[in-house]
Amino acid sequence: MKSMPVAAACALPASKMQRTVYVNRRTDMITTGGRHPMKVTYSVGFKSNGNVTGLDVEVLVDAGRLRLFHNAKAGESPEYTLPLIWDKLAEFKQRRMVVEEFNATNKWRKRGISRVPAIYGVSMRSAPGRVSVLSDGSIVVEDLPRWLSRKAFTCQNIFGGDCDLGKPHQLGLSAIDKYVEVNILTGETTILRTDIIYDCGKSLNPAVDLGQIEGAFVQGVGFFMLEECLMNSDGLVVTDSTWTYKIPTVDTIPRQFNVEILNSGQHKNRILSSKASGEPPLLLASSVYCAVRAAVKEARKQIVRCSSNSQQGIDLSSDFELPVPARMPVVKEFCGLSVVEKYLEWKIQQMKNI
């Protein structure tokens, strides 16, 4: 939606002057960058020892004009394949044991693992498009996104007449198993392996759905790990170029990236029994954040265990809030290695005492 003002700003003068008009990247990012405006009001009750006894939070989010999407009624039983998907990630326990063994034998690199389910409601909305049947019997689909055109091309021979449009709401179900490795000296995060199982209903074009799932996931990784939006005191975006606003690159992609499409078969309430595959997989990227937090937690435990005598007064507890996006400097800081010099001094002194 944010691209529309930029397109309109170019289209109007281009039409008036009959010349090519463009907006440079910096102006585009200043105009459309950022997150939804929010106002948070809160009050907290706590005891003298710091224990929180009560919390009252009011969050106002300006997300623009929305329709009522969540229209499920009480008593409805939607198709629910999440338990099956969850069970298919059965190797999670074995991988967690491998991660624990690695962390016990490696001092400066720690690994974290997480498993995350996702349920994403998708509503059908109107969109412009044109389907032309030519005199030679060929069909032309225009003014649609490329991925949707490919799906339409795949399904052109399924129906010869009208078809049931089904219900305008569906659930996207998926789960992910992921583990990462964190260099606690630099804060660098490497995604070692990702396993995604996604319920696509009856996939109309598995190749397109596969690309949508992988692409949405990588975009989500950018949100959780890289894309920090900074503003100055005047409210203007200062991360206004790819030099300051970091997006996913080839290094962001997991070293081993496994995606399985679960075909849950025919269903009368879905269009051609299919399910959306564009937006829902983005939520699965939260697993990267969870795995990184687990690795950071292990690093903090190690420092407390090894150098508790030399770091009194420094809070390295296992209860902490890792910011989003969890960029390299943030991860390094939360690993506790801002006090690495004290740790090394303690280690040297320990060796001298041997």
Instruction: List active site positions.
Output: 279
Pairing, β 189-201 against β 256-263 = parallel
Distance CA(307)–CA(310), nearest Å, equals 5
Closest CA to 95 of 175, 176, 189, 177: 177
Under 8 Å between Cβ of 117 and 198: no
Distance CA(126)–CA(67), nearest Å, equals 12
Q: Tokens standing for 307?
A: 């150098």
Under 8 Å between Cβ of 271 and 159: no
Q: Tokens standing for 136?
A: 């030679």
* Residue 199 DSSP code: E
Distance CA(131)–CA(243), nearest Å, equals 42
Distances (CA, A) of 61 to 34, 119, 279: 13, 22, 21
Q: Rounded to 10 degrees, what is the CA torsion of 276, 222, 60, 67?
A: -20
In the chain, the amino acid numbered 277 is: S
